Amino acid sequence: MSKYTLFTPGPVDIPEDILHETAQKAVYHREAQFAELYRATSEGLKHILGTSGRLFLFASSGTGAMEAACSNILSSSDEPVAAICGKFGQRWLELCQAYKITPVVVQEEYGCCIKPETIEAVLKQKTKPTIVFTTLTETSTGALNDIRVFGEITKKYGAFLVVDGVAGIGADRCPQDEWHVDIMVGASQKALMSPPGISFIAVSERAYEKTKKSDLPTYYFNLAIYEKFRSKQQTPWTPAINVLYGLNKGISKIVKMGLDENYAHHRDVAEYVRERVKNMGLETLARRPSNALTVVKMPANLTSTDIITELKEKHGILFANGQAELRGKIIRIGHMGDYTIEKMRPALDALEHIIRG
């Protein structure tokens, strides 16, 4: 059906062997075969995340897992911090507001990263431990936040650190336990190379303890309900079984390659893309760029909407446009997951051809 190859920052171009894996007959989710699939997927994922925490798998998009994190860790009396530098960071603010909680907002311009010292300045003034919501890889701008330093600061002030890693996990290294991340949020359709439909959160013990005291209403994403089934290697509600086949395959490919090798590969591809666009005379939007995607600013005389359409229609290459106020002004090039320099080259050649007119 698809008439183009995806170079979008999620969903990604899913490898054929993973697609093939998803097309198996479903097992029954109350049976031993499912428990084994659940166990293998969870173990591999926790290895990639670098955590020994509790992993919860949801049938939802990444936003669902963000809501799970938010609605389980927060209580109505909490005064959290939303550290935002793009559209996906903004989602944390909207989530808090949906639950009638008003966070302190730490905001940076699109393209910038959140400054650790700004977070520290806020935490210093808090009279009780709080919760900091932020983003690893901001898909709207390509910026990579310095989660390692954020983790040092939140630890120092006894705060909880909740990170949207949806676009970064598997592409940008962020070892959860080592970097003191209390909740890491992810999804299947980015660097884990699988179809969309599964999301997850990995929760530290202290964060899990805090979720027990939450007074916010939750059901589909209620962790206490999930926990009862997690111990049986099941989910309380029918899981996205076929997507899980794919996710397990994607994870096992990364584990087999080795984490260091995998991150080095992502860095190499990302550096190649950045070098190519620089040689076209273009600038990247992010000063501290992610290895998951590259976001390129358009010169004043060009609109990305036209370029994206031409690349799609003439070359079968799909890049993503900017969102909201950035629409027409940037091109977002995804290279998380199954992308190589050889695969990026013709796509960038085609872009260069248009740019050079």
CA distances from 32 to 106, 209, 237, 241 (A): 46, 29, 16, 13
Helix axes 241-257, 259-279, angle to 10 degrees: 90
Q: Is 84 helix (H, G, I), strand (E, B) or coil?
A: strand
Q: Which part of the chain contacts a second copy (CB under 8 A), choosing from 12-20, 103-111, 203-211, 283-291?
A: 12-20
Q: Which part of the chain contacts a second copy (CB under 8 A), choosing from 103-111, 116-124, 210-218, 261-269?
A: 210-218
CA distances from 92 to 86, 217, 264 (A): 11, 17, 30
Q: Which part of the chain contacts a second copy (CB under 8 A), choosing from 15-23, 178-186, 251-259, 270-278?
A: 15-23
Binder of a second copy out of 42, 51, 60, 134 (CB under 8 A)? 60
Q: How many residues does the chain have?
A: 357
Binder of a second copy out of 202, 208, 321, 344 (CB under 8 A)? 321
Helix axes 32-49, 241-257, angle to 10 degrees: 40
Taking alpha carbons only, the member of 344, 305, 299 closest to residue 323 is 305
Confirm or reject binding of residue 10 to a second copy (CB under 8 A). yes
Binder of a second copy out of 35, 40, 43, 63 (CB under 8 A)? 63
Taking alpha carbons only, the member of 66, 67, 54, 96 closest to residue 218 is 67
Binder of a second copy out of 59, 255, 259, 302 (CB under 8 A)? 59
Confirm or reject binding of residue 112 to a second copy (CB under 8 A). no
Cis status of the peptide bond prior to 289, with omega within 30 of 0: no
**Neighbouring C-beta atoms of residue 218, cutoff 10 Å:** 17
**Cβ-contact 81, 103 below 8 angstroms:** yes
Question: Nearest approach, Cβ of 247 to a second copy (angstroms)?
Answer: 11
Question: Nearest approach, Cβ of 175 to a second copy (angstroms)?
Answer: 26
Binder of a second copy out of 75, 107, 118, 218 (CB under 8 A)? 218
Q: Which part of the chain contacts a second copy (CB under 8 A), choosing from 41-49, 92-100, 297-305, 348-356?
A: 92-100
H or E segment and range at residue 150: helix 147-156
Give the x-and-dash track for 237-276 against a second copy (CB under 8 A): xxxxxxx-x-------------------------------
Q: Give dist(CA 87, CA 51) in Å, integer.
A: 27
Contact residues: a second copy, CB under 8 A: 1-6, 8, 10-11, 13-14, 19-20, 22-31, 33, 37, 58-64, 67, 71, 94-95, 98-100, 187, 189, 195-198, 216-222, 236-243, 245, 318, 320-321
